[in-house]
Amino acid sequence: MFTSPYADVEIPETTLYEYLFGGLSIDDLDRVALVDGASGEETSYGKLVGQIDATAGWLAEQGVGPDTMLGLFCPNIPAFAVVFHGTLRAGAAITTVNALYTAEEVGRQLADSGATWLFTISPFLKRAEAAAQAAGIPAGRIVVLDGGDPAVAAGHPSLTDVLQAGLPAPRLSVDPHAAAVVPYSSGTSGTPKGVMLSQYNLVANVAQARAFFRVTPDDVVLAVLPFFHIYGLTVLLNLALGERARLVTMPKFDLAEFLRITQDHRCTYLFIAPPIAVALAKHPLVDRYDLSSVRVVLSGAAPLDGGLGHAVASRLGCTVLQGYGMTELSPVSHAIPRDDSGNIPLDSVGYTVPNTQCKLLDIATDEEIEVPAEGASAPGQLLVRGPQVMLGYLNRPDATAAMIDPDGFLRTGDIATVTADGVVTIVDRLKELIKYKGYQIAPAELEALLLTHPRIADAAVIGVRTDDREEVPKAFVVRQGAAELGDDDVMEFVAARVAPFKRIRSVEFVEVIPKSASGKILRRELRARTAAAPKA
């Protein structure tokens, strides 16, 4: 077993609202909490808390309380924070829905989570109405966040109505250990699962991550990662606001807009996922903007290669860090601390956060792997125990039991190593490892290598079956601009740099690598495409 080299932090038994906003000082009230990146409109901490309270008051008057589940289907805009915290303040539970979902997918999540209310924005109204109907939510319970204008709200209550009612927040005692937030996992390995997190889980993870991320009131934090996914939810909506930073929201990723907002709002702290790191390291557009305000870039959600991270650090002249987590862990369990002075390799995910225990289990035998006295351990499946571990999967007791062992350790499904100093490196997902003649190949390693090629803009690797039932690596490659690059160039480049068993055996050139909103390569889609393609 190994733990954090950092001392435990205090985790109060309290609600998220109390933890984040209970200590708001008079000086804080006028500070800017949220800036709408598109319009530049600002919301102060005082106004934000007033709107949260009014939303809680209105919801309580509608009978919303501890047994109610509310759906929030909305991109990153300031009103997201109002509804999210207002719902918890009313003692109710909330499920956050992926903004890219189709009406069917939204409907499925609303039904699965038992949501009886839906908050959305007018551009999403068509999908929201269809989904609500499928889930049996009446039109009067679809609240439109931008719908001050009756024509926009189309017969639904609007956030303006909610706020204008001006009702005080209800006085109630909320159990911080009850299921309160139900985000869904990204669906990388199968159907997304509803993950039950308590307010205590979320308070704990903010308390744990603070010590590592060190966001300050002087930071301007760019909120491009979706709030509906656990990474953006905890790190942006909770941690950054709890630290009284200024949060600049972006409804969806667009490179030029991302660079413009970073420049114009003088953003200092960027939380990103690897696809944005690829763009920051390689895209020509980056040179056209003044990004000198950026101090820290923290990448999480998928593997960041050290070389790529260093390329971002030198191009932007900033510190680059990596963190690791999963929805089931609220999400953070590992990160490179902000005050590390470059001792921890950027290939790694740094140290275990405070109040957390880990172990590694042998992939074949499930035997615990010893932490060596020096150097790095053998790779094994990472298990994590701590106050950030979910209550369980919603409606899936069997899946929960398979995931959390009787001692409370959660099986991450990720392969990792740990050094004597406690530095953890993620190898890849157990399920993604390509098995070739008894060897194991991590797609992430080959993808990182491909990205070092100057004529490759992006890449992904999957295992494909050969006629003799072996699994071999196939690369999907996006050419850099109009660069000339053939199959052989790619295969020879890799062959010159890896052991023979790891060689890329086939190459397909594509326009883009499919990625999820949370920043993961959708290998499922690449696999489906390969399976559907006629044999050459």
Which chain residues interact with ligand ATP by CB under 6 A? Answer: 185-190, 192-193, 300-303, 322, 324-327, 349, 412-414, 426, 429, 518, 520
The residue (of 141 and 193) whose beta carbon lies closer to ligand ATP is 193
Q: Quick one: which of 359, 376, 377 has its CA closest to 368?
A: 359
Q: Which of 394, 474, 389, 469 is nearest to 204 (CA)?
A: 389
Smallest separation, CB 329 to ligand ATP (Å): 8
Q: Out of Mg ion, ligand ATP, none, which partner does residue 303 contact, by CB within 5 to 8 A per kind?
A: ligand ATP
- The smaller minimum CB distance to ligand ATP, of residues 55 and 516, is found at 516
Q: What is the dihedral of CA 456, 459, 462, 468, to 10 degrees?
A: -10
| Nearest residue to 487 (alpha-carbon basis) of 469, 467, 508, 459 | 508
Q: Which is nearer to ligand ATP, 48 or 346 (CB)?
A: 346
Residue 348 CB, shortest distance to ligand ATP, in Å, is: 9
Cα–Cα nearest to 299, from 266, 277, 332: 277
In whole angstroms, the minimum distance from the beta carbon of 80 to Mg ion comes to 23
- Dihedrals φ, ψ of 45, to 5°? -60, -40
Question: Smallest distance from the beta carbon of 431 to ligand ATP, in angstroms?
Answer: 8
N-to-C CA span, the chain: 50
Nearest approach in angstroms of CB 199 to Mg ion is: 22
Closest contact distance (angstroms) between CB of 95 and ligand ATP is: 15
The option from ligand ATP, Mg ion, none interacting with 414 (CB < 5 to 8 A, set by class) reads: ligand ATP
Q: Which is nearer to ligand ATP, 206 or 332 (CB)?
A: 332
Which amino acid is residue 501, in one-letter code? F
Sheet holding 357-361, edge to edge: 2-3, 357-361, 380-385, 410-418, 424-429
The nearer residue to ligand ATP, 65 or 413, going by C-beta atoms, is 413
Q: Is 256 left (phi over 0), alpha (psi -120 to 50) or beta?
A: alpha
Label residue 151 exposed, middle or buried (CB < 10 Å: 0-12, 13-18, 19+): exposed
Could you tell me how many residues make up the chain?
536
Angle in degrees, CA 301, 259, 99, rounded to 5: 50
Q: Which does 445 bind (CB under 5 to 8 A by kind): Mg ion, ligand ATP, none?
A: none
Q: Which stretch binds Mg ion (CB under 5 A): 25-33, 180-188, 400-408, 454-462?
A: 180-188
Interacting stretch for Mg ion, rule CB under 5 A, among 18-26, 119-127, 185-193, 462-470? 185-193
Distance CA 219, CA 267 (A): 7
By a kind-dependent CB cut-off of 5 to 8 A, residue 87 interacts, out of Mg ion, ligand ATP, none, with none
Among ligand ATP, Mg ion, none, the one that 520 touches (CB under a kind-dependent 5 to 8 A) is ligand ATP
Kindly give the interhelix angle for 125-134 and 103-113, rounded to the nearest 10 degrees. 40
Q: Which is nearer to Mg ion, 185 or 268 (by Cβ)?
A: 185
Q: In angstroms, what is the minimal distance from the CB of 301 to ligand ATP?
A: 5
Q: Which of 283, 289, 174, 298 is nearest to 231 (CA)?
A: 298
- Nearest residue (CB) to Mg ion, 68 versus 356: 356
187 binds, among Mg ion, ligand ATP, none (CB under 5 to 8 A by kind): ligand ATP
Angle (CA) 184 186 192, round 5°: 55
**Residue 242 interacts with which of Mg ion, ligand ATP, none, CB < 5 to 8 Å by class:** none
Tell me how far, at minimum, the Cβ of 462 lies from ligand ATP, in Å.
Answer: 15
Given the rule CB under 5 A, which residues bind Mg ion? Answer: 185
